[in-house]
Structure 1
Amino acid sequence: MSEYNLEIQSAKQRQRRFYGIVVSLLVVIGGLLVLWIGTVRVTTIELFPEEVRSNARISLKQGIGFVQSETVYSLSRETVISAVSAGFSTATHKIKPEEEGDRAQVTLLALPGIIRASTNAADPETRWFIDGKLVSVGSEISVEVEAGSHRLMADSPYHEPEMYEVSLARGETTQLKLVLSPVQGQLEITTSPAGAQVKIDGEIVGKSPLIVPESGGRYSVEISAPDRETLIDNIQVTNRRPNPSRSYQLEPRKGYLVPSLSPKNGMLIIDGKEISSRDRLPLSAIKKHNLSYQKAGYFTENAKFSLSSGEERKLTIKLRPEYGLVKITSQPQAEIWIDSKPAGITPVSLKLSAIRHNIKLKKMGYRTVEKQITPSSKSTRKIQVTLKSEKQLKLEKIKKEFMSKAGIKFKMFTPDRILMGAPRHEKGQRANEFQRDVILKKAFYVSLHEVTSAQYAQFKKSRASANSLPVTSIGWGDAAAFCNWLSQIDGLTDPFYRFSNGRYVGFNPASKGYRLPSEAEWEWLARKAGQTRQTIFTWGDDLVIPPGSGNFSNTALQGGIQFSASNYNDGFARLAPVGSFKPNKAGLFDLEGNVSEWVHDYYSAIPPRNNDVEYDPLGGTVGYNHVFKGASWRSESLTKLRPAFRGSAYEGSDDVGFRVARYVYK
């Protein structure tokens, strides 16, 4: 093949390769174009207000793509555009998924105008108004407003208000300086008396009355006259009050009082007003003054005086001490402490200073009583006190009544002295009713009613007659055992009575457990409790039995006593339910009648020693029979109706029951 043919063939091969490359590039470009057309997001931006659309510029702030006029072409998942227009703030908008391929609305906000203004007055009290609304107070202002026309007013107190019209385009700032004219006014001044010299800001301007022209401002006015106090005032001439007027009453010149007071720290009163100062006191020189000086514990001193103009007077006042008589008595006798110092034993009369004193009355075992008193020379003060023992105060806090778990109601009593028994000359008296002087110091509880069969049956199940009749036919030992049982169920762990193998062997006088009343307690309850004096019978000293007094024998009574009515009938042939009759004056039921009652004491027929006082006696610790007290349904004689009557037995009977007692405290 010739060289020419080889060149032609080589040229054809190069041409084929070139066309292949071009076709390949066209295929790639076509594919990319198809891919771009399939994934590009086209969004039209709609700008507001409409006036910005002609000159606004939209640009891509975030994402891949480009902007053509008002159309955004984006290949990114997140696309953020910004829109800018003269006179408006730049708006930024993130295209939302629902806006892609559709329209996105973007609003541009108009830029405000700015007014900056000051005045020639440079007054910090200047008030600035825009379109009639107060916007600032100060010597100058800088405030944003909407584009357009506005009315600016500056109002300084000492100048005439100035109005200015201003127009601003969007984003425009204007700088203004307003020239204010001073207010033109006058000061009118009158005085009483007339003819006083007037100074304004330190310069004499004349004598009152007068009118002085002045421009706006604040002025110091000084007014003086012979023998009168100089007066200083401040007056303002303002655009609201350009012509202020003042009328002054000039006070006479003062005199001066220098008080010398003894003792110190008293109360000084001049013309009805308390004066705290003790130095040179300025007072009017044309009137009389009333002075009073007083201090607790001293007689008050009064004085009248007057001062001349400019006079300085020294006044010396020395108060005289005041004392009063105080009488102090107490029951019982007690130590006296006055203001924490011992002052003797009651009763006493003391001369004390007429100031408030703290007085305490003290006695061992008694609650201290504290009193405050201010003695007076005009009368004797008295303090009369009854001290309460700690035991008494303790009793006042304790329950006065309660009910045991067995259903027995109890009442508290605070006993005192009683003369037990009866004298030989008393009708119905028996030889064993020895008179005994007894003082009962221990408070105790006692049951309001006699123990019923139903209550006793809780203790002795064998007693089948569970009713409200008083339990009878039980011995003293059974009654004592019931008391211990009652202590146990009520949580009193220290029983009063002691038993060994079911046999009574003694008692514990310090126990708070339930027990039978002592003979002395029972007689005190029947003859003195709830009464002003001790009596022979539970109802008094009368030999006539009042109606409804109790359950006694309905047969004719012996020994001279009689019922109040000849046909008296208590309604019961034998036992009556407890509480069937009215209580005695102490609030206890059936203490007279129904059944006689076991008491704690052993029976003894040995007379007591003469003149011996017994305290809270409980009888002997050994014996056989025990005492029972009180009348019963079987009683028909004067002897047995008296509480002084003493019966004795060991075994029970059908007319003897019992009631329960216990000490309030050990």
Structure 2
Amino acid sequence: MSDQNTQANAAKELFKPIQKQARFSRKKQLLIVVFFILAALIAWFISAASAVLIRPTPAFAQTQIGYWLKLPFGQDVLMLPGKYTVSATAPGYHPYEESFELGDESLELNINMKKLPGQLKLNAKDGWTQQAINGELKSTLIQSSPLKESYSATTDFPSVEAGQYQLSVEHPLYLPLAQSIEITGMGKSQEQDLVLQANYGLIHVAHKNPGAQLRINEKEENLNEERIALAVGDYDVCLEQEGYKSQCHWIELAAKQELTVDFAELLPADASLTLSSTPSAANVLVNGQFRGQTPITLALSPGEAQSIKLYKDGYQRFSKTVTLKEKEQQTLQASLLPFLGKVSLKLFPSNTKVFLNNKALKLNKGVVNLVSHPQTLRFEAPGYASQSHRISPSQNRPLQLDIQLLTLAEQKFANLKPVYRNSNGEQLKLFKPKHSFTMGASRREQGRRANESQRKVKLNRAFYLATHEVSNKAFRQFKNSHNSNHSKGTSLNNDKYPVANISWQDAALYCNWLSQKEKLKPFYNVQQGKVSGFDESANGYRLPTEAEWAWIARYDAGKMKKYAWGDRMQHSASKASYAGNYADRSAATQVGSILNNYDDGFAASAPSGKFPANKHGIYDLGGNMAEWVHDVYGISTGLNRTELENPMGKQSGQHYVIRGPNWTSGTMSDLRLAFRDYGNAGKRHVGFRIARNAL
């Protein structure tokens, strides 16, 4: 029985079904799922990403885009569209950083890194004596293209940008030296050996007069110097000592010449005559020889008759003969009688006072008699600017003067500089308008918009206006982090290009910053970092008013121009010449409407001042960038019969006026100078220029 059970159990075990084993472990299954998810994400990333092609100069620069989600291919990367920052470093170069925006298409970033400055040491040597030169050596570096500021130092230049320079070296004893020099930069030090050609000679003074003083051309020199170096020229070399007669030698010194000037023993001084006169500064002749002007002490030979004569322009001559004993000291006072000339004065205002040598003159019915020689009269009156006039009264011919003083305001107005350059390098030009004109556009004008209602305006206040739009370089002096960005890959951020993508607030705050920098009264009132109004009387910088902008851009011989180039569009099939930066054929990828028959060479903005100025000497009013102006935006209804005098608009508002055609303008409407836009935020085609009240 037991055997049967044993066999039965063995049979069951033999035919027991085999349990199904799993093909993969759970861990492996999880890894497979993760793999497929990652593969799907990578496939999605590759399909959604765009390539950023990085082209650095120098090529060995190390570049980095500060974002984790990217797929690098060398220095090129795949990234999702968005805003990023690229940085680059290279030995010997300034670190580089720039923001960019990546769209749906590949973007090529050309990175041009700037070399670090270098150091230059000059070793100057005298070509005659072979000695090193120090002291008054002055050296100057001027970069040939473009022209940069000069560097000056005695021997060394501690920081010089890389490039080609013209080196000039000057010293009062050497011929000027000029030569070209290449500065490597990149933090490297260079030495330059210079050999200067002597333009001096040497003199040695021989004498037997202890305690004497040496004067060369009236300049005291050290008599104990073994040799004295003097530039090529003529010299009066004199030996002087109190109580003795001076002794002088006239020499002509050539380059590389050595001379010995030998002085004999000085002789005791003669008798002396101290001579004075009324008036002073009379010319003195002794025995027909000029000896100087009064007051003067003369050394005269004793025991001899001396003829003394005094003369002064406008006075009668004085003559006297004197004979002095040995070592005698005598004084002589001479009174010169004047020749008088009649001067008649007609004065405005009537209470004007007349001064001669700071002494008030008394007039007799507007007439005064003055000495007949050139002299200066000063005219003053309360509330008026003083004037000075040089006159020459004559004994034989009466002189008539009509003097009309200017009020202080009139004088200040007359003294205004026609052009000046401010502390940020921007040039401003003075304008003194006295015109009435009509702003806006007639309803009959083709292309007119509803916000161009006509207004009568009178401008009679002098103002300064910048000849160029504010550049990126100038604006970054105020806000160094500003980036004007780009338009569809075309950079707007070049230093020489007008600043873009700045709000009206940014422009107004820049004006206040510049005013404070030059210690002018800020024009705009600011609360909590925002402009809240303005002070019309302030002399600080501001934005031009809309009326000023319209007058500068449009007013021409009593009429208001339609376009910057004239009153008609150019529809010729041949290449047009608008002479400005507009939406041309090169901007077709940037804007909707273009001028098909025009090509200004710039797909977006252009360097400030690239195109000709208007008749007032102002650049880019009719192109390049539209411009923020001072006025709050508004629309008037109908032609206002009231003439507005120097209008500045409301103190504040939500939107501000934008004026002028720009590089995106390509239609008859927005190319007109009467075209108005508005906003408050920055735009790719809007910049600004600065202005200020002249008085």
TM-score (norm 1): 0.40
TM-score (norm 2): 0.38
